[in-house]
Chains A and B, each alone.
Chain A
Amino acid sequence: MADTDAAQTTEPLDLVKLSLDERILVKMRGDRELHGVLHAFDQHMNMVLGKVQEIITVVSLDDGEDATHTVTKEHEMLFVRGDGVILVSPPRR
């Protein structure tokens, strides 16, 4: 049997495979989130995303309070290097 130590028929990457051509949320290192259409990915979680909204959370230093705000950038097409990826979440079905 080709299965690894954990006896199972599916692997985590199948969840990502099911999200191809869907709008996904990617949580990245550096307090960044990407929302975009998943066009391609590989075993490293390198990804090609289209129509991307990049949301960067910034902690403001001026106030004593923990004031955060977000900066949003738009990208038509993006290659994402896999090592920055923390989490991938498909759209709710």
Chain B
Amino acid sequence: MPTNPSEFLARVIGQRVVVKLNSGIDYRGVLESLDGYMNLAMSGTKEYVNGQEKNDYGDCFIRGNNVLYIAADKQ
């Protein structure tokens, strides 16, 4: 178990994650990097609106202010 939030984030870099934005939209992909603003770079990114796949962006940058949570994805 991580003992603080940064440790969790360091642990999920390079792993599959689900990122939920304040708008409720989910992005699933591999977390490539993040910074102190919680800006993210992801690869293999797919966009899910109401659980349905809407877009396949490949690489993408997400501005940190929109992030609600970052969850480790299964497998």
List chain A positions with a Cβ less than 8 A from chain B.
4-8, 10-16, 25, 45, 82-83, 85-90, 92
Are B33 and A12 in touch, CB under 8 angstroms?
yes
**Interface SS of chain B: helix, strand, loop or mixed?**
strand
Residue among B10, B21, B40, B59 with max Cβ neighbours from chain A (10 Å): B59
Q: List the B residue with the shortest CB-CB distance to A44.
A: B63
**Interface SS of chain A: helix, strand, loop or mixed?**
mixed
Are B34 and A6 in touch, CB under 8 angstroms?
yes
Are A12 and B34 in touch, CB under 8 angstroms?
yes
Are B57 and A16 in touch, CB under 8 angstroms?
no
List of A residues within 8 angstroms of B39 by Cβ:
11-13
A63–chain B nearest beta-carbon distance, Å: 20
List of A residues within 8 angstroms of B41 by Cβ:
10-12, 14-15
List of A residues within 8 angstroms of B23 by Cβ:
86
